[in-house]
Amino acid sequence: MLGQVLLAASGSRLVRRSVSGFPLTRRVVDRFVAGESVPEAREAILRLLGTGLSVTVDHLGEETRDAGDAAAIAKAYLTLLEELRPLELGRAAEVSVKLSAVGQALDEDLALEHARAICAAAAAGGSTVTLDMEDHTTVDSTLRILRELRREHPSTGVAVQAYLHRSEDDCRALAHEGSRVRLVKGAYREPATVAYQSKADVDKAYVRCLRILMAGKGYPMVATHDDRLISITELLADRHGRSRGDYEYQMLYGIRTDRQEALAGAGHTVRVYVPYGADWYGYFMRRLAERPANVAFFLRALGGK
Q: Is 182 an active-site residue?
A: yes
Q: How far is the C-alpha of 143 from the C-alpha of 44, rounded, in Å?
A: 31
Centre a 10 Å sphere on the Cβ of residue 126 and count the other Cβ atoms it contains: 14
Task: Given the residues 42, 180, 182, 189, select the one marked as catalytic.
Answer: 182
3-state secondary structure of 96: strand
Q: How far is the C-alpha of 87 from the C-alpha of 122, rounded, in Å?
A: 13
Tell me which residue of 162, 183, 305 sits closest to 247, measured CA to CA. Answer: 183
CB 219 within 8 A of CB 188: no
Burial of 176 (0-12, 13-18, 19+ CB in 10 A): exposed
Q: What are phi and psi of 9, to 5 degrees?
A: -65, -25
Bridge partner residues of 252 (DSSP): 273
Task: Given the residues 58, 132, 170, 279, select the one marked as catalytic.
Answer: 132
Beta-sheet strands, E only, within the chain: 54-59, 93-97, 129-131, 157-161, 180-184, 219-223, 248-252, 270-276
Q: How far is the C-alpha of 93 from the C-alpha of 87, rounded, in Å?
A: 10
Tell me which residue of 298, 224, 255, 295 sits closest to 2, measured CA to CA. Answer: 295
Tell me which residue of 115, 126, 106 sits closest to 77, measured CA to CA. Answer: 115
CB 111 within 8 A of CB 144: no
As annotated, the active-site residues are 132, 182
